[in-house]
Amino acid sequence: MRSRGHIPIRSCIGCGEKKPKREMIRIVCQDENIFIDPKGKASGRGAYICVSLDCLEKAIKKKAFSHALRYHIPSEVLEDLKRNLCQEILKRGEKDEKKNL
């Protein structure tokens, strides 16, 4: 009774923890464009991160985005990505809180 259906597990590039991928945020690198993939359907190389500002901070610090996406991300692009991810994390965090009420 261990596996009920197929739940894809991914590890976070920040903390390294493994979680179901729909609990995470996917970042995609496609033709040198880096963007957040909310539906997890975009093609291209993807990286996953927890919905956590802590993990975002860790991932930025250890340059995990460049490693995971195998692309050297220019710092201004990384700044942009960080801003967008912050928003996404806050947005999802809010949603989760409401769900728990």
Residues that bind Zn ion (CB under 5 A): 12, 14-15, 50, 55
The smaller minimum CB distance to Zn ion, of residues 32 and 91, is found at: 91
Q: Specify the residue, 18 or 45, whose C-beta has the smaller distance to Zn ion.
A: 18
We find the least distance from the C-beta atom of residue 47 to Zn ion, in angstroms, to be 11
Closer to Zn ion by CB, 13 or 34: give it: 13
Report, in Å, the least distance between residue 49 CB and Zn ion: 6
Query: Percentages helix, strand, coil for the chain, rounded to the nearest 5?
Result: 45, 25, 35
Q: Which is nearer to Zn ion, 12 or 29 (CB)?
A: 12
Q: How distant, in Å, are the alpha carbons of 28, 30, 41, 69 from that of 45?
A: 6, 7, 11, 6
Tell me how far, at minimum, the Cβ of 83 lies from Zn ion, in Å: 19
Structure tokens at 45: 């190389």
Q: How far is CA 50 from CA 5, 16, 35, 59, 93, in A?
A: 22, 9, 16, 10, 11
Name the minimum Å distance from CB 56 to Zn ion. 9
